């Protein structure tokens, strides 16, 4: 069964003044374990789609189903809770709490989930080790490079053990080396731990790493291709 | 919760300078408000303290007609049994001192003066207000002695001194004529100015005999260990006496003029305090406003990853409370230290002379009353709560995407 499924999903901004049709009857579904890139020119609706999938905004038409639940019908406070349990986010920038260290940023989301203190510490340390920041656990975001910050953000998104992770242009502000490094980490998490990733990008190097590429044009799905699985490990 | 407090605490120091300025402004307001109040209240507390100990007592028992018509006809019989009933009313009562009080004329060869004659039990009266310590010449009478102690002001006016004879003329109970001669055994520098110029202390039984009122008193003043218990003790006595003819008053009921005067005098500093706090309140609001607005994007991210709006409000609430309570605590400590340092202010030069001429001490004592400290705390806390409404509403209505785009 698909973990995410949209049904005639539409979004119109400013319906009363100058309507902008950011999404037009989008029907798409995502399976567990996917590593999917959403590509398309600027303004094609990538961010809007990801926001809808993450329940950050309400559609003006259609619905979003996650694990069989219609999140567009939820109350605001229930949706916040739902996100905490099911969805991990990585944004383009300003991801982290600036006054918290890397470790605290990763732990915080697990504290919100009211998990056991010891377990939180252990998992935060493990995740930071996995994203290659074992040495920088006590650094604050300003003391980290952009690439390191995004890796902390990925660790934080993973911390809550979500069903899937949404990343809106996670590499847009990174240089090539940092971008590829982040992709390596995401890919490894996907392969080793079967974490589902859906990320938007217009960067060809990133698109090349995806196993499924969804192309958007003018608010609609223009193309949806699954690549041949190359080789494992 | 610990994490939220940690988060709030660190957020405070993100803009160290702004937070410090805000805290300093609160400290400044608290210190100014406390000092204003302490200086104003200090003189009143001293005045009230003296009036209470030399005149009214904290609690006083009277005949029910005496307040309307303070005449010797409205006295009551006071014996061991009544004394015991008063003392047994409440364990917080330390002592009870009977007094008989009336106006008489005092005369020498050349002049007459109106005086207030106060018949007292010397031992009890001393326990009550250490009256003997104010005797500056001669001695206070003991029980069984039949002498008078008069205020120095009165003595000066009548040109009398220790060893001279004082003639008293007046009316006793039920219109009986009353006159007597008393040897002056002591002069007293009475701390209550009016009394210094008019008081004549006589032994209680001598006064009663003079006024044809053997066994009768005009009032019994009740001593209690702590002013706080005034009302409780008064109602305990009322209950225990259960006597239609006797009424029990507390000192505010007996000194309404002083309290009115005090209220009037405090009106201006109160107004200043309010204005001060309004100004500080706006500064505080400005800080919280910018602290909220510049972090909207961050709030958006926090809501996105699953932090409840409620928790976000808690963090901002803690920030507001931290700033205000640090300010209040520092303000209270600082003003307390300043008060200790300057108390009492001793006037010098012309100002001192002017005050002495008016018959007051040339010192301004400071009030250390606890309430003036915590009132400021409550005040600032109230302002903080009003200020907090802004972030509260902002978070409640925050649109995640708009926040993230800001
Ligand atoms: N809040 C908004 N109000 C009005 N129009 C918006 C808003 N957000 C996005 N749009 C418009 O919707 C369209 C899709 O935007 P977006 O989803 O951000 O595209 P992408 O992420 O692919 O660049 C664009 O035309 C954009 O201008
Ligand atoms: Mg976008």
- Under an 8 A CB cutoff, do B311 and A51 touch? no
- B90 and B60 in contact (C-beta within 8 Å)? no
Whether A201 and chain B come into contact, CB under 8 Å, resolves to no
Q: How many CA atoms within 13 Å lie on the side-chain side of A178? A: 15
Say if residue B299 is exposed, middle or buried (CB neighbours under 10 Å; 0-12, 13-18, 19+): buried
pLDDT at A91: 87
- Under an 8 A CB cutoff, do A99 and B14 touch? yes
**B7, B304, B311: residue with CB nearest A89:** B304
DSSP letters for B266-305: HHHHHHHHHHHHHHHHHHHHHHHHHHHHTTHHHHHHHHHH
Q: Where are the domains of chain B?
A: 2-50+262-405, 56-254
Task: Say which residues have a Cβ less than 8 Å from residue B311's Cβ, sequence separation at least 6.
Answer: A112, B4
Q: Enter the pTM of the model.
A: 0.76
Q: How many CA atoms within 13 Å lie on the side-chain side of B387? A: 31
Whether A84 and chain B come into contact, CB under 8 Å, resolves to yes
pLDDT at B227: 79
Mean pLDDT by 10 residues, chain A (233 residues): 92 92 96 95 94 92 94 89 91 84 94 91 94 93 93 92 92 89 92 92 91 96 83 45
Identify which of A124, A126, A127, A87 has the alpha carbon closest to the alpha carbon of residue A104. A124
Give the CA angle between residues A57, A1, A114 to the nearest 5°: 55
Residues of B in contact with A168 (CB under 8 A): none
Cα–Cα distance, B22 to B12 (Å, whole number): 11
Q: How many CA atoms within 13 Å lie on the side-chain side of B55? A: 21
Cα–Cα distance, A63 to A53 (Å, whole number): 10
DSSP letters for B58-91: SEEEEETTTTTS-SGGG-EE--HHHHHHHHTT-T
Question: Residue holding tokens 């990133």?
Answer: A206
Tokens of B29: 């307001």
- B58 and B230 in contact (C-beta within 8 Å)? yes
How many angstroms is it from A185 CA to the middle of ligand 2? 22
Residues of A in contact with B14 (CB under 8 A): 98-99
Whether A150 and chain B come into contact, CB under 8 Å, resolves to no
Say if residue B222 is exposed, middle or buried (CB neighbours under 10 Å; 0-12, 13-18, 19+): buried
> Which residue positions in chain B have pLDDT lower than 70?
354-360, 406
Cα–Cα distance, A157 to A174 (Å, whole number): 18
What distances in angstroms separate CA B170 from CA A231, B113, B115, one per listed residue?
A: 124, 12, 10
How many angstroms is it from B110 CA to the middle of ligand 2? 108
pLDDT at B356: 67
CB-based pocket (< 6 A), ligand 1? A 13-14, 20, 22, 40, 42-48
Task: Say which residues have a Cβ less than 8 Å from residue B367's Cβ, sequence separation at least 6.
Answer: B37, B38, B39, B40, B41, B42, B44, B45
pLDDT at A77: 87
SS3 A103: helix
How many angstroms is it from B401 CA to the middle of ligand 2? 12
- Under an 8 A CB cutoff, do B298 and A98 touch? yes
Q: Which of B291, B305, B398, B403 to mutate to test the interface with A (most CBs of A within 10 A)?
A: B305
Cα–Cα distance, B200 to B120 (Å, whole number): 10
- Tens of pLDDT, residue by residue over A162-203, are 989 999 999 988 899 989 999 999 999 999 889 999 999 988
pLDDT at B43: 77
Ligand nearest to the Cα of A41, by number = 1
Cα–Cα distance, A147 to A154 (Å, whole number): 11
CATH top-level class for A2-232? alpha beta
Ranges assigned E (strand) in A78-177:
87-90, 164-168
Whether A73 and chain B come into contact, CB under 8 Å, resolves to no
Q: Where are the domains of chain A?
A: 2-232
CA nearest to A83 within chain B: B306
**B11, B297, B306: residue with CB nearest A84:** B306
Cα–Cα distance, B367 to A173 (Å, whole number): 63
- Under an 8 A CB cutoff, do B306 and A80 touch? yes
């Amino acid at each position: 069964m698909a973990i995410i499924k949209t049904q005639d999903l539409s979004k119109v901004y400013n319906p009363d003044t100058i309507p902008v049709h950011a999404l037009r009857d989008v029907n798409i579904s995502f399976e567990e374990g996917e590593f999917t890139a959403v590509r398309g020119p600027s303004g094609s609706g990538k961010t809007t789609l990801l926001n809808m999938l993450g329940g950050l905004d309400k559609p003006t038409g259609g619905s979003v189903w996650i694990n069989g639940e219609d999140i567009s019908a939820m109350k605001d406070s229930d949706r916040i809770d739902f996100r905490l349990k099911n969805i991990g986010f990585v944004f383009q920038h300003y991801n982290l709490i600036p006054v918290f260290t890397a470790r605290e940023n990763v732990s915080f989301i697990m504290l919100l989930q009211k998990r056991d203190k010891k377990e939180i510490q252990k998992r935060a340390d493990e995740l930071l080790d996995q994203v290659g920041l074992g040495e920088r656990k006590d650094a604050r975001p300003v003391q980290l490079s952009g690439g390191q910050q995004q890796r902390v953000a990925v660790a934080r998104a993973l911390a809550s053990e979500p069903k899937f992770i949404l990343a809106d242009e996670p590499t847009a502000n990174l240089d090539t080396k940092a971008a590829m490094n982040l992709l390596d980490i995401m890919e490894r998490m996907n392969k080793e731990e079967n974490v589902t990733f859906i990320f938007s990008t217009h960067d060809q190097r990133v698109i090349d790493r995806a196993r499924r590429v969804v192309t958007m044009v003018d608010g609609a799905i223009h193309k949806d291709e699954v690549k041949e699985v190359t080789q494992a490990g | 919760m610990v994490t939220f407090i940690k988060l709030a605490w660190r957020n405070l120091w993100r803009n160290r300078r702004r937070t410090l300025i805000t805290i300093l402004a609160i400290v400044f307001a608290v210190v100014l408000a406390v000092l204003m109040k302490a200086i104003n209240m200090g003189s009143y507390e001293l005045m009230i303290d003296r009036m209470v100990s030399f005149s009214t007592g904290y609690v006083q028992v009277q005949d029910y007609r005496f307040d309307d018509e303070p005449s010797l006809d409205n006295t009551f019989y006071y014996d061991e049994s009544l004394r015991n009933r008063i003392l047994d009313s409440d364990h917080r009562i330390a002592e009870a001192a009977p007094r008989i009080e009336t106006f008489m004329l005092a005369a020498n060869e050349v002049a007459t003066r109106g005086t207030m004659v106060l018949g007292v039990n010397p031992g009890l009266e001393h326990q009550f207000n250490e009256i003997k310590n104010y005797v500056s010449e001669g001695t206070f009478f003991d029980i069984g002695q039949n002498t008078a102690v008069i205020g120095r002001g009165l003595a000066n006016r009548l040109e009398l001194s220790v060893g001279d004879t004082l003639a008293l003329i007046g009316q006793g109970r039920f219109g009986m004529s009353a006159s007597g001669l008393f040897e002056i055994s002591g002069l007293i520098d009475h701390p209550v100015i009016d009394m210094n110029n008019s008081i004549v202390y006589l032994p209680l039984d001598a006064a009663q005999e003079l006024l044809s009122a053997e066994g009768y008193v005009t009032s019994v003043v009740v001593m209690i260990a702590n002013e706080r218990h005034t009302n409780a003790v008064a109602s305990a006595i009322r209950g225990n006496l259960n006597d239609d003819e006797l009424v029990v008053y507390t000192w505010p009921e007996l000194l309404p003029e002083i309290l009115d005067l005090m209220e009037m005098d405090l009106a201006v500093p109160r107004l200043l305090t309010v204005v001060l706090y309004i100004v500080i309140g706006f500064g505080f609001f400005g800080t919280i406003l910018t602290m909220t607005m510049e972090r909207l994007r961050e709030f958006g991210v926090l809501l996105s990853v699953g932090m409840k709006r409620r928790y976000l409000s808690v963090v901002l609430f803690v920030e507001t409370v931290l700033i205000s309570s640090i300010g209040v605590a520092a303000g209270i400590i600082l003003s307390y230290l300043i008060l200790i340092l300057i108390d009492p202010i001793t006037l010098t030069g012309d100002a001192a002379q002017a005050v002495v001429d008016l018959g007051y001490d040339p010192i301004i004592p400071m009030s250390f009353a606890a309430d003036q400290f915590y009132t400021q705390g409550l005040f600032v806390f109230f302002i903080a709560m009003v200020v907090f409404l802004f972030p509260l509403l902002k978070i409640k209505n925050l649109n995640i995407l708009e926040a993230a785009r800001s």
